[in-house]
Structure 1
Amino acid sequence: MLNAALISRNFARLLRRGPVDLTHYAVERHELCPAEETGRSAALYPEGAMDRIVALSPWRNLDLEMGLIQGTPIRHEATEVLVVPDVSLAGAYLYRGGAKERIGIGEAKLYDRDLESRRVIPEAHLVSSWMGADFFGNFMQDSLPLELVPPPDALRIVAPTKPYMHEAGYRALFDLPPPPMPRHAKISRLSLYRDFSQNSFKLARYNELRTRLRANLGEIPPSAGVFLRRGSSLGEPRRLLNEEAVIEFLATLGFDILDPERMGADSIARVALDAPVVVAVEGSHLGHAIYTLAAGGSLLVIQPPYRFAMPYKEVTDCMGMKFGFVVGLPAEGGFVADIDEIKQMLERLA
């Protein structure tokens, strides 16, 4: 089917008609949580760790990471909802006039075989983002909490998203049925949320989902600690070459070793529930720890030297948890973790 919305947008750009930012078309803007200034705790790491960092993740920058490492105060921007009228949705993009905004996964095509007949939706609330559509960790920490924001009777919609193997299981644990995913629609009144900040409003929703999960799982004796395998199918390769040696050491401390690629969400949550510490290589699989980690618990992240990133420090700061990291030693085909450093960091985080 021809993507009329994209064709119209391209003509508008050619003729330089109208703004290119979709938010300029908003007729209403409401603040859901004002901007906030908060303090943060410093990350814990062993001596010499910073010297091993070769490169950051392409999604991160040095100023952001240093603020998280040092625990400097931060200003969280306000959380807002914008109401935009007469928006066209086609695949993974929203259009109006010369504006085009990506909200999911997929290319914008002039001829798209996947487009269904266009439907008209009087009013809807978009409760997903392209980051959550593309990365499991962002789906867990951004998209699912966003679904709690609209009024109970509001129509929630989501954009095309990767088929996460654990989505259905976590939705059952959180009592969050999947919203519809229209691929082609004209929306008369669309609510768009700007919900990037790890503020008190986000904290309240994290806590709500943590409460729902515990209500559905019941009382379970907590593990001494959990190690999350990254597996081989998630995103960019981050090969911990001595993973088996790390696992052997952690097992002597009573840790449970979880392989999310071979387990359902319910099984993962039952083992990880209220563990005081979770250890894992940096990556989206740490999303499994957000809602199961004990209150006041700790994350110990094994950082690849060539892809250093601290997104989960933002989450632990928000929830009042502790965060530590070690940086691997570069090696052919991946990196190696220093087990003595892991032992030292577990003692410091206890």
Structure 2
Amino acid sequence: MVEGKFQADYDVSQFIGAARDHRPEVVIFNSPGGSIQTGFALGRAIRTLGLDTVQVRGLECSSACALAFLGGVKRVAEPGSIGVHKSSFSGMAWGDADEAVSAIQSATAAVLSYLREMDVDPGLLELALQYESSDIRYLSGSEMEQLRVTTRSDPDPLPAGPTAQPSAAPNPAPSSDQVSRSVPEPKRMAIIEGIDFYGSDVASGTVNSAILCGQECVARGDQCGAFTFNSSERARKGPNCFQKDSRGFLDGNQEAISGLMLSPSDPAPQPFSLGVIDPTSDLMIGVDIPGHDLSRRPHPSAKSVQACRLECLGDERCVAFTYVIERSHCWLKSSGEGAVNKVGMLSAYKHVRRFSPRIIPTE
């Protein structure tokens, strides 16, 4: 793991020596950034060594750290785990105005050259320059994919059909009668903490609370039947309120607060239990679960950690999974016994969580 602030005088040969001694397959970061040149140097060293990079939301990787992350041959990152801002590209000291302009132009050219070298969309720089040094813009999963911040061997979108839906054991989640709106004018909303209504987005924006997100959904009328609010402070640097035409499917996420619009005739959803693999807390980097595979071959379409997680949630036989980062292989497991530490692997267990919706009036 690369930790701490990137100092301008850092000798990248230390990193190269450690990598050759320990032979890791992936690099993980916990850094607020720092020197751009150090970010460049670390990224190029990672690429030269043929290493992959992985980032989770529980650790920090922003500013110049984002540049180092781009060095990974294969790059896997959870939504909201990579942050960018202007200071990553313009944090230099200069004298007069002409020197300042020259320095900014030089830094911008250097970053553009680096992004092209790493086969990353130059639009990442354009996005970063919109945010001052006192602010950070954390990238969504779709933004990272579109800008090629993360890599995917599978060009198709994540599965949205029945196989991606979480299983609800031992007790069922709210039925379709409970979660669908029967009239276009809601009078109440059911708030569920710790649940993400995955998919079915019609609009997004940035607000300060789940209640305000719900009010925006109400204002949209019959176009919005549900919403999900991301309560993470990082999410406020980008969209954190996602309005939906329907609830999508239920995905456990401790940072999410979701709401379902209810008419006077709709029954209130009852407490329910759900099998979850929380993307913010349950992913274990460097852990393998050998054996117990549900198939002799890796899952044919789950080519990312997110897709692998969703496939496990949607398969009642699956109690855990292991993802091989270098090969983008997803192995669904019938048991989670015998876990061992192993570089280049990422594993997680499915567990049951209880949810209790609460009703709030919309008027």
Higher relative contact order (CA 8 A, sep 6+): 1
Structure with greater helix percent: 1
For normalisation by structure 2, the TM-score amounts to 0.29
For normalisation by structure 1, the TM-score amounts to 0.29
